[in-house]
Amino acid sequence: MRKKLDKQISKSDIFSLALGAIIGWGAFVLPGDLFLSHIGLQNTIIGMSLGALIMIIIEKNYGFMLSKHAVAGGEYAFTYYSFGRHHALICAWFLGLAYISIVPLNATALSLIAKSMFPGLLEKGFLYSIAGYKVYIGEILVASLALVLFAYFNIKGVKIASALQKVMTMFLVGIVFLLLFMVLNNPEIGNDNISTYLGLSKLSIPKILKILTIAPFAYVGFDCIPQAAEELDFSPKKASKLAMLSIIVGCLIYVMLNIITAFAFTQEMILSSKIDWATGDAVELLLGKIGLYSLGISLLMAIVAGINGFYMAASRILFALSRAGAINSWFSELDKKTKTPKNATLFVMAVSLITPWFGRSVLLWVVNMASIGAVIGYLYTSIAAYKLAKKENDKTIKVTGLLGAIFSSSFCVLLLFPGLRTSLTMPSYIALVAWAILGIVFYRKQAKGYKSMKKETLDKLILNKDSKKLKNAS
């Protein structure tokens, strides 16, 4: 019997899920670590805006496929319908890694808040250093507590997790908008620093391309919506519009945090060793301690919203794989009371609890590689949308499908081609190869039933549709 998830997610739930997943710790630390220090304000705004436009085009393809197959697993189901079981498993394998790795990355980012606002608070019980990162038992305990807590909320029900997500996202967006309003309306704040970023001579195509390569990571989160498609209590068409809105709002928050930081510091100031957290130092300089603590609350909300959102996405793709027989049936066991994928959530928690012990440097290698997972999902979905739109003679989706495939392929080249400024680091390449090899071993040893299962059975398990109806529809 095919296991089903309950329809419990509302419009506000899905918008806060997508936006909370998009805006993580990166939006708050990248202005100093990358955007303003190495790229420049104009190039960042142009790059992030173009990145958002590309993601909206790709989302059109997601929306089209979601309207046809509103089931858990999202890209896994889309890829299965268009390319079959083997390609579907490849897509899900890399996408699952992307979602799972972002959960502990957000959890370990909690130490960033403590280091900036409460220096030394979590740096207790030094254990060892890995790749130059010092690992403390205090940081591990806090990250672990957050991981266990949000696993509990996700198991206890979608309603509880969604309610928390809405509150966190509301605080996140509200505080960032309020901080920008206060900076722009403070008569004591001049524009001497921000004016140093202006001037056409600073525009750079290579730098804009550098920003575009991180767009899949910066905006990953809108694609969490298809993972929860089976639980939506409204039409997929409306979910697609909310996904686009989440991308637009996410882009605005990225831009606003860069503008706030640019008001306080020039590029030269940020590059000096005197500034640890550029955006936090900027808000404290411009608005005092109250501003800093407000930003800290906003960052906290972004981090925990990211943990919550990717818990949901990762557990749903594992559930979909298990329901289809691609992985052990244990992963598709539902909680008897709340009908949530309990075991899949516990697995994500267990894996995530291991990673803080390796430090953020190692985790960042995996996450950089995991950006490829998101891009693979974009590529398969875009090509699937193009193929189906061609059959149905949908001219709009034919265009967006083709563009999405071109953009996704370009992201792959920029990330994977050695020697480019945008390419992965060697540790990330090694992690990518290791994950691919592990996938091959798993496929050969563990997926025998999945490989031999009749197509009619898989159609029902993955798409919840009869094979004859699918054949007629195509």
**Whether pLDDT at 88 is above 70:** yes
Burial 8-28 (b: 16+ CB within 10 A, else e): bbbeebbbbbbbbbbbbbbbb
Domains of the chain and CATH, by start: 11-467 (1.20.1740.10)
pLDDT given for residue 343 in this prediction? 95
pLDDT given for residue 120 in this prediction? 82
pTM above 0.85, yes or no: yes
pLDDT band at 82 (very low <50, low <70, confident <90, very high): very high
Among 49-58, 81-90, 133-142, 155-164, the least confident range: 155-164
pLDDT higher at 202 or 322: 322
pLDDT given for residue 339 in this prediction? 87
Q: Are 431 and 365 in contact (CB under 8 A)?
A: yes
Task: Look at residues 113, 111, 71 and name the one whose alpha carbon lies nearest to residue 92.
Answer: 71
Query: What's the mean per-residue pLDDT of the chain?
Result: 88
pLDDT given for residue 199 in this prediction? 64
Mean predicted confidence (pLDDT) in 445-456 = 86
pLDDT given for residue 81 in this prediction? 94
Each residue's pLDDT tens digit, 201-219: 578 888 898 888 888 888 9
pLDDT given for residue 61 in this prediction? 96
Of the chain, the percentage scoring pLDDT greater than 90 comes to 45
pLDDT higher at 161 or 320: 320
Q: How far is residue 336 from each of residues 6, 156, 161, 264, 319, measured CA to CA in Å?
A: 12, 10, 17, 53, 15
Task: Look at residues 309, 286, 305, 285 and name the one whose alpha carbon lies nearest to residue 297.
Answer: 305
pLDDT given for residue 468 in this prediction? 55
pLDDT given for residue 250 in this prediction? 94
Among 90-94, 156-160, 168-172, 389-393, the least confident range: 156-160
Instruction: Name 133's bridge partners.
Output: 130
Alpha-carbon distance of 314 to 310, in angstroms, equals: 6
pLDDT given for residue 201 in this prediction? 56
Among the ranges 205-214, 363-372, 419-428, which has the highest mean pLDDT value?
205-214
pLDDT given for residue 140 in this prediction? 92
Instruction: Name 9's bridge partners.
Output: 232
**Whether pLDDT at 21 is above 90:** no
Q: Are 335 and 152 in contact (CB under 8 A)?
A: no
pLDDT band at 314 (very low <50, low <70, confident <90, very high): very high
Opening angle at CA 461, ends 456 and 465, nearest 5: 65
Alpha-carbon distance of 74 to 221, in angstroms, equals: 13
Each residue's pLDDT tens digit, 217-239: 889 888 888 888 888 888 888 99
Task: Look at residues 344, 305, 304 and name the one whose alpha carbon lies nearest to residue 323.
Answer: 344
Secondary structure of 153-177 in HEC code, one letter for each residue = HHHCCHHHHHHHHHHHHHHHHHHHH
pLDDT given for residue 93 in this prediction? 92
pLDDT band at 273 (very low <50, low <70, confident <90, very high): low
